[in-house]
């Protein structure tokens, strides 16, 4: 008997007929800022996901050439940035690898130089990051970029069995949105509830709403969804899919969420700066939206890496209002060269391992970054999650959420690795906690380091 997920993948390869026609009318209602063309882009992406890799690369190269030439001509920050060497004679990935890496600090310092000189009126939109790794930054986006990102989002949702017109509950970080936003969401059969750091009374209200609405799916941060579902009273609500984003999803948490909601769980990867980066297919592999972005992973020296943890860089191929080329998001991931059995030739993001910015260090200046810990200890079984907080150059706290089984051997492995690489002079105190420390935006950093002048 054919495996269910393979069968679903093959069904998604077939033309969607009225679903595609409905999407042309419905998607602009879901994402008004993305414009009326979102449904048409969606139908195109439904076709291109099955194209051969060479055809996808051709799309990337065409878009990249246009973006770079446009940036040099119209964006002050890039005016003298890409001229040396030109833009021709290479594939998109090789071409972009020759360009400098763009950091958040550069955007903060040079934001006034990064936007096109004369943006078209009425089709430019602002987005602000959460500021979880520093001060928030402001990004300006074109309608075209929003349109492709929105279409890619709903294509990714379809891989999880969710159609745009299905009822959904979005577990939001703060507040319930404006009155206009709430009315618009209701019109497309979506509801927003607040969960992050909410009181138990608010969570009861959210559970009551979910039980009343009987949605097809719920979406939110991992931590929020776990707290919302911990009472197990939502298992009979008919929820088919739990969608997680914004935090690392550990396998034990995936299992917990499946038990809490009695539903399939999938994770997707995006950011406020560049939406719709990667989505899980029917087989559980994250596929990069190659038609929209070029995703790279590089080592500490900036060299491309495959099959091992690297710093994630992303290029938005569709936003010419404020081009982001080789933008470092601050995450660690693993890109794979192996094709997925679902049949799509889209690049596979094999693993998403956490944040890169923070590190712990010793008095000699040696350090271990979040990248190191994310890659080294990604397969812990008994420890749900852990977090390293450096108090001084000789003191580190190792906070952890304990799962089933004996956690001591796994905790000792982490401590031994720190001592082996940074020296025995660092005291590591292991502390079991119910919940790890979160950022103001509700995310859970793997490492919280010191400022450079602390402890010295």
Q: Which domains does the chain have, with CATH numbers?
A: 4-353 (3.40.50.12780), 358-448 (3.30.300.30)
The pLDDT score that the predictor gives to residue 4 is 55
The pLDDT score that the predictor gives to residue 94 is 87
> What secondary structure, in 3-state letters, does the chain show?
CCCHHHHHHHHHCCCCCHHHHHHHHHHHHHCHHHCCCHHHHHHHHHHHCCCCHHHHHHHHHHHHHHHHHHHHHHCHHHCCCCCCCCCCCCCHHHHHHCCCCECHHHHHHHHHHCCCCCCCCCCEEEEECCCCCCCCCEEEEEHHHHHHHHHHHHHHHHHCCCCCCCCEEEEECCCCCCHHHHHHHHHCCEEEEECCCCCHHHHHHHHHHHHHHCCCEEEECHHHHHHHHCCCCCCCCCCCEEEECCCCCCHHHHHHHHHHHCCEEEEEECCCCCCCCEEECCCCCEEECCCCEEEEEECCCCCECCCCCEEEEEEECCCCCCCCCCEEEEEEEEEECCCCCCCCCCCEEEEEEEECCCEEECCCCCEEEHHHHHHHCCCCCCEEEEEEEEEECCEEEEEEEECCCCCHHHHHHHHHHHHHHHCCCCEEEEEECCCCCCCCCCCCCCEECCCCCCCC
**C-beta neighbour count of 417 within 10 angstroms:** 16
The pTM (predicted TM-score) of the whole model is 0.78
**C-beta neighbour count of 452 within 10 angstroms:** 8
The pLDDT score that the predictor gives to residue 364 is 79
Query: What is d(CA 122, CA 437) in angstroms, rounded to the nearest whole number?
Result: 41
The pLDDT score that the predictor gives to residue 15 is 46
pLDDT in tens, the chain (456 residues): 345 555 555 555 554 544 567 888 888 888 888 888 899 999 999 999 999 999 999 999 999 999 988 888 888 888 876 645 555 556 788 888 888 999 988 888 888 888 876 665 556 677 766 544 445 678 888 888 999 999 999 999 999 999 999 999 998 755 555 667 778 888 899 998 876 555 677 788 888 999 999 999 999 888 788 888 888 889 989 999 999 987 778 777 898 899 999 999 999 998 888 889 999 999 999 999 999 999 999 988 889 999 988 999 999 999 988 999 999 988 888 999 998 999 999 999 998 876 655 678 888 777 776 657 766 776 778 887 888 999 999 999 999 988 778 899 999 999 998 998 889 999 999 999 987 876 655 567 778 887 544 444
């Amino acid at each position: 008997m054919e495996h269910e997920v393979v069968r679903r993948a093959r069904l998604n390869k077939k033309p969607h007929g009225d679903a595609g026609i409905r999407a042309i009318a419905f998607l602009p209602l879901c994402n008004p800022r993305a414009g009326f063309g979102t449904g048409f882009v969606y139908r195109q992406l439904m076709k291109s996901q099955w194209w051969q890799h060479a055809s996808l690369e051709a799309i990337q190269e065409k878009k990249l050439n246009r973006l770079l030439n446009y940036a040099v001509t119209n964006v002050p920050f890039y005016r003298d940035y890409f001229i040396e060497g030109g833009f021709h004679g290479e594939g998109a990935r090789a071409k972009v690898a020759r360009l400098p890496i763009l950091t958040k600090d550069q955007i903060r310092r040079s934001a006034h130089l990064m936007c096109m000189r004369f943006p078209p009126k009425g089709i430019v939109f602002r987005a602000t990051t959460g500021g979880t790794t520093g001060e928030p930054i402001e990004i300006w986006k074109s309608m075209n970029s929003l349109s492709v990102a929105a279409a890619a989002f709903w294509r990714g949702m379809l891989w999880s069995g969710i159609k745009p017109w299905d009822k959904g509950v979005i577990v939001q970080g703060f507040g319930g949105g404006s009155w206009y936003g709430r009315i618009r969401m209701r019109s497309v059969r979506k509801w927003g509830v607040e969960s992050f750091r909410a009181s138990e009374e608010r969570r009861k209200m959210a559970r009551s709403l979910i039980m009343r609405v009987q949605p097809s799916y719920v979406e939110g941060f991992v931590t929020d969804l776990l707290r919302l579902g911990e009472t197990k009273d939502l298992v009979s609500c008919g929820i088919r899919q739990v969608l997680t984003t914004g935090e690392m999803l550990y396998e034990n948490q995936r299992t917990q969420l499946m038990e809490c909601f009695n539903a399939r769980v999938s994770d997707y990867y995006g950011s406020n700066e560049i939406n719709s980066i990667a989505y899980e297919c029917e087989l559980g592999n994250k596929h990069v939206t190659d038609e929209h972005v070029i995703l790279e992973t590089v080592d500490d020296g900036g060299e491309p890496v495959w099959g091992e943890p690297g710093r994630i860089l992303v290029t938005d191929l569709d936003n010419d209002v404020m081009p982001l080329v080789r933008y470092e998001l601050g995450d660690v991931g693993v890109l794979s060269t192996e094709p997925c059995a679902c049949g799509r030739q889209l690049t596979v993001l094999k693993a998403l391992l956490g944040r890169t910015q923070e590190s712990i260090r010793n008095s000699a200046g040696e350090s271990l970054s979040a990248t190191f810990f994310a890659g080294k200890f990604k397969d812990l079984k008994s420890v749900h999650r852990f977090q390293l907080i450096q108090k001084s150059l000789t003191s580190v706290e190792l906070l952890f959420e304990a799962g089933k089984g004996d956690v001591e051997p796994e905790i000792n492995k982490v401590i031994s690795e720190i001592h082996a690489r940074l020296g025995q002079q660092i005291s590591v105190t292991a502390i079991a906690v119910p919940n790890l420390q979160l950022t103001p935006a509700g995310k859970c950093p793997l490492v919280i380091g010191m400022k450079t002048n602390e402890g010295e």
